[in-house]
Amino acid sequence: MKPIRKPRLSPIEQRKQQLAKLIDELRQKAATKTRRDFKTDQGYEQWRKHWPERLAKLETELSILNDPGEYDSLPAAVVAEELGLSIGLVEALIQYGESEPTDTSEGSRRDRVSRDELARVIEFGLDELLRLHEQDAAQIFEDALRHLQDGDLEAAEKAYRRIEVRDSLIGHYALAYRIGLDLAKSNFDEAKSTIDFVLREEQIKRTATLSYLARLLRSIRFNEHTAEVTREHLLALADGGEFAPYRYAGSYSSKQIGKHLDEMHFPGHRERRIRPIVNTESGAS
């Protein structure tokens, strides 16, 4: 006789079992741990402070799973059940930026999505979402150039997060796209910081980052004068020039940088009146 297989639990039931076990283990530890279990008084005090917070979070999630219809911010298990995916895959979609979490603050677990975001994912199409999830940093970088060309900075910001989580904060694609995005947003201090980091890199790494940056900057123009002058100097540098952007601007505010570089190296250059960001390949000016 073949063994009877237990029915496969739904994502919500799987997670509820996990939570019940975690809650029970945490309560047992809270009841038995003493100062002698810790090397320092500080460690003991941190434990006493944090275990009730941890317990409250686990119990809150369990409460949501028991009646998800009452809540707008949905745990991964609820989303997984709605989409017919595993909890792990849903968590990966959130962590890798294909689905937007409800809480993006620093230190957040980013493990929940709103009902509106769930509806967006369903409308967008699960097949397309999974296709995007399979993209690497290079593919996202190429696809995301159009966001800067179109001036869609919200989409560009989301694309950057997807690049960064795959490429790392200091990966070539992430650095290049971050510079372009900061220039587009007129975040000149942030752009300067990233540019300075790139220029301090080893030659091979610097050359690789500058090549991707040049690919990005050749496809756009900036209306903001500082951004446009910086773009021109970075392209010159990527083409083998020796000029280091901002070298002559150390004592100037970010608003003065473009004007100062303009006067030092492009005396005939004057501010252009064009759309904020346009695709040069389309013939717009």
Total domains in the fold of the chain = 2
> Could you read off the pLDDT of 181-216 as tens digits, one per residue?
999 999 999 999 999 999 999 999 999 999 999 999
Share of the chain above pLDDT 70, in %: 81
Same domain, 122 and 147: no
Same domain, 204 and 104: no
**pLDDT, position 107:** 67
Vertex 155: Cα angle to 154 and 161 (nearest 5): 95
> Could you read off the pLDDT of 11-60 as tens digits, one per residue?
999 999 999 999 999 999 999 999 999 999 999 999 999 999 999 999 99
pTM: 0.76
The position carrying tokens 């901002």 is 246
Does 6 fall in a domain?
A: no
Does 1 fall in a domain?
A: no
Last residue of a domain, one of 114, 131, 148: 131
Same domain, 265 and 142: yes
> Could you read off the pLDDT of 230-285 as tens digits, one per residue?
999 999 988 886 645 555 344 344 555 555 444 444 333 333 332 333 344 444 43
Same domain, 22 and 109: yes
Q: Which of 267, 265, 270, 246 is nearest to 256 (CA)?
A: 246
Residues 91 and 78 sit within 8 Å (Cβ to Cβ): no
Dihedral, 15, 17, 22, 28 alpha carbons, nearest 10: 170
Same domain, 231 and 155: yes
Same domain, 20 and 125: yes
Which residues have a Cβ under 8 Å from the Cβ of 186 and sit 6 or more positions away? 224, 226, 227
**pLDDT, position 278:** 39
Share of the chain above pLDDT 90, in %: 72
Does 3 fall in a domain?
A: no
Same domain, 141 and 127: no
Q: Which tokens belong to 277?
A: 């960001």
Last residue of a domain, one of 131, 156, 172: 131
Which DSSP letter does residue 6 get? Answer: P
Q: What single string gives the DSSP state of each residue in 11-31? A: HHHHHHHHHHHHHHHHHHHHH
The residues with which 74 forms a beta bridge, in sequence order, are: 113
Same domain, 20 and 52: yes
Does 89 fall in a domain?
A: yes
Same domain, 164 and 118: no
pLDDT band at 103 (very low <50, low <70, confident <90, very high): confident
Does 94 fall in a domain?
A: yes
The position carrying tokens 């790392």 is 168
Does 5 fall in a domain?
A: no
Same domain, 77 and 121: yes
Does 4 fall in a domain?
A: no
User: Per DSSP, which regions of 100-206 are E strands?
Assistant: 112-114
Three-state DSSP state, 107: coil
Same domain, 199 and 239: yes
Does 16 fall in a domain?
A: yes
The position carrying tokens 């677990």 is 109
Rounded average pLDDT over 60-79: 94
Same domain, 148 and 63: no
Owning domain of residue 255: 136-282
Last residue of a domain, one of 131, 158, 178: 131
Residues 72 and 118 sit within 8 Å (Cβ to Cβ): no
pLDDT band at 5 (very low <50, low <70, confident <90, very high): low
Which DSSP letter does residue 69 get? Answer: G
